[in-house]
């Protein structure tokens, strides 16, 4: 069943129930929209930073946009790009695209103008929608990309001259559902890889994969109509989108929060009575830090209804979960694993019943199969040995769009090679060891940075840590630890060195660097940036010594 049928079902059965809420606490600073714009939108309460729409309005807006696209010549198989911050328009636009049989192509809001140009050309985007935050970047390339495609500006402030106004046109079209035949086998969306090794790759998914993501999310987290999901990560990424699809499957309310300040997160949970929140590690750490130092007090918020906190996109320190449960006793916890090539989270998950296994990413998710393979990508390793994690299931991508070579590198029949090194314990629980490309070879020994990072994260002064390999003439590479300490704390290299004496000698970091750990919008450590930065620093230092 195509995903759009879930939206139409919800609009029919629960037309007046709230589907989406947008909260933008920093609207005056972060948006060009006026306060009035946020209080006079259909279905919105009269307050300055909050908007909402019902399931019927959601579906009507998707239908209007679909009919607008069809009137502009969009046909089945065309591609429509979305370059928007999280907002109330995002998901109706996404579903409007799907209703035409076209492919939705979400774009990373951090892309530079050149990356936007590259991605719309690679995905063969026919129409691009963009918000006020992107006027400058799109304007840089408008003369190029605008020659062969339509540009729509989504925003109620002035429309730039190189684009057409979405807001002024969309309401002129019918709210009736377009009569387009869409099957599970049809192409549905193109997402982009994180691009940590160069320009992003375009990942093609079918409608079957999109629907499977919704099914998996509800199966894993048992959403009902009484749940309220707080969505903070960007919707362009499969992580946030597919977690939200549990709300779609259960016809329950979701809250889109702009920004990730601890105060804003707790206020949203409290005011909207959220029951489920998905966090990235840095956000959970920021909340815990403020609770620890007393600048946030839980008694000021209504949080008892919060039944589940789950984390994905990166390894989760066991100490973080333990500290979280001290503040939120009895609350369920889950870890989710996936990648854009597997339609986001859920290919592997811990399961709320397996809290004793925190540190593991869990077991195969609903409808998924896993295996850990040798270098040939096919032969399984012995239980307990390290190999590359492979996935098989309805959510595996069709291909890297227009890139047969890259597709062949990761697909082994129906199995997807993830690039993640992992091992499995005697109970079948999977533990990530590291990214295949991040493994450090030092003196002939393989060092797995995640293992060292997990150890260092237990130090009470360490807020965040990244371990990378730096070149060294004798050993080939050495492990370097970039350490970010908690605010107001002082930590020395000698203190870290002493702490690491519990590690085997060859696993101890040979270089300690105190600095902020950079993470991208999905919470992953930007290790290519760290390697580039500190490799260059090391070269300069060696030249100065010479």
- The answer, yes or no, to whether residue 199 has pLDDT greater than 70, is yes
- The answer, yes or no, to whether residue 39 has pLDDT greater than 50, is no
State the architecture of 439-545 in CATH terms: 2-Layer Sandwich (3.30)
Specify the pLDDT at position 43. Answer: 34
Out of 3.30.465.10, 1.25.40.20, 3.40.50.300, 3.40.50.12780, the CATH code matching 4-244 is 3.40.50.12780
Are 522 and 194 in contact, with CB atoms under 8 Å apart? yes
**Residue 424's pLDDT band (cuts 50, 70, 90):** very high
Q: What are the domain boundaries of the chain?
A: 4-244, 439-545
Residue-wise pLDDT for 133-172, tens only, equals 999 999 999 999 988 899 999 998 789 999 999 999 999 9
Residue-wise pLDDT for 284-311, tens only, equals 888 998 999 999 999 999 999 999 999 8
Residue-wise pLDDT for 360-416, tens only, equals 999 999 999 999 999 999 999 999 999 999 999 999 999 999 999 999 999 999 999
CA distance 167 to 173: 12
* Token output for 53: 């729409």
CA distance 312 to 336: 5
Instruction: Tell me what the mean pLDDT of segment 254-269 comes to.
Output: 94
Are 106 and 93 in contact, with CB atoms under 8 Å apart? no
Are 81 and 105 in contact, with CB atoms under 8 Å apart? yes
DSSP string computed for 38-89: GTSSTT--SSSSEEEEEHHHHHHHHHHHHHHHHHTT--TT-EEEEE--S-TT
Instruction: Tell me what the mean pLDDT of segment 35-40 comes to.
Output: 36
Which residues are CB-neighbours of 211 under 8 A, at least 6 positions away? 1, 2, 3, 6, 184
3-state secondary structure of 348: strand
Instruction: Tell me what the mean pLDDT of segment 23-46 comes to.
Output: 46
Specify the pLDDT at position 541. Answer: 53
């Amino acid at each position: 069943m195509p995903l759009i049928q879930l939206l139409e079902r919800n609009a029919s059965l629960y037309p007046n129930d709230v589907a989406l809420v947008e909260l933008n606490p920093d609207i005056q600073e972060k948006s060009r929209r006026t306060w009035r714009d946020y209080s006079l939108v259909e279905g919105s309460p009269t307050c300055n930073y909050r908007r909402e729409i019902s399931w019927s309005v959601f579906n009507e807006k998707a239908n209007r946009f679909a009919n607008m696209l069809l009137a502009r010549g969009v046909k089945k198989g065309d591609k429509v790009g979305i370059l928007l911050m999280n907002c109330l328009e995002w998901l109706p636009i996404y579903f409007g695209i799907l209703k035409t049989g076209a492919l939705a192509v979400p774009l990373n809001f951090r892309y530079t103008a050149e990356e936007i140009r590259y991605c719309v050309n690679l995905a063969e985007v026919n129409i691009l929608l963009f918000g006020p935050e992107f006027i400058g970047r799109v304007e840089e390339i408008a003369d190029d990309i605008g020659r062969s495609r339509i540009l729509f500006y989504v925003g109620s402030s002035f429309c730039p001259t190189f684009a057409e106004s979405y807001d002024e046109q969309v309401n002129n079209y019918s709210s009736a559902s377009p009569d387009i035949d869409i099957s599970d086998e049809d192409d549905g969306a193109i997402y982009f890889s994180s691009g940590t090794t160069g320009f992003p790759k375009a990942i093609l998914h079918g409608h079957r994969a999109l629907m499977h993501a919704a099914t998996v999310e509800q199966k894993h987290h048992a959403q009902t109509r009484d749940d309220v999901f707080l969505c903070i990560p960007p919707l362009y990424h499969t992580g946030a989108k597919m977690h939200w699809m549990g709300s779609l499957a259960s016809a329950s309310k979701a809250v889109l929060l702009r920004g990730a300040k601890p105060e804003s997160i707790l206020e949203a949970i409290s005011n909207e009575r959220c029951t489920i929140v998905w966090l990235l590690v840095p956000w959970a750490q920021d909340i815990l830090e403020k609770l620890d130092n007393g600048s946030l007090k839980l008694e000021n918020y209504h949080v008892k209804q919060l039944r589940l906190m789950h984390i994905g996109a990166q390894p989760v320190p066991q100490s973080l979960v333990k500290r979280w449960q001290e503040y939120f006793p009895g609350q369920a916890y889950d870890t989710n694993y996936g990648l854009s090539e597997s339609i986001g989270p859920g290919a592997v998950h811990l399961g709320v019943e397996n809290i004793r296994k925190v540190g593991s990413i869990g077991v195969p998710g609903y409808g998924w199969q896993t295996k850990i393979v040798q270098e040939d990508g096919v032969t399984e390793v012995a239980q307990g040995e390290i190999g590359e994690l492979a996935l098989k299931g309805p959510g595996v991508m069709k291909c890297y769009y227009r890139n047969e070579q890259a597709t062949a590198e990761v697909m082994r029949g129906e199995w997807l090679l993830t690039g993640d090194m992992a091992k499995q314990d005697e109970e079948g629980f999977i533990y990530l060891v590291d990214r295949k490309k991040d493994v450090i070879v030092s003196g002939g020994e393989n060092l797995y940075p995640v293992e060292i990072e997990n150890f260092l994260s237990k130090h009470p002064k360490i807020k965040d840590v990244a371990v990378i390999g730096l070149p060294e003439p004798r050993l080939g590479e050495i492990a370097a630890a970039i350490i970010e300490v908690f605010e107001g704390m002082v930590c020395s290299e000698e203190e870290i060195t002493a702490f690491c004496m519990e590690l085997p000698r060859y696993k101890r970091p040979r270089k300690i660097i105190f600095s902020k750990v950079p993470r991208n919008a999905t919470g992953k450590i930007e290790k290519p940036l760290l390697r580039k930065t500190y490799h260059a620093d090391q070269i300069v230092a060696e030249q100065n010594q010479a």
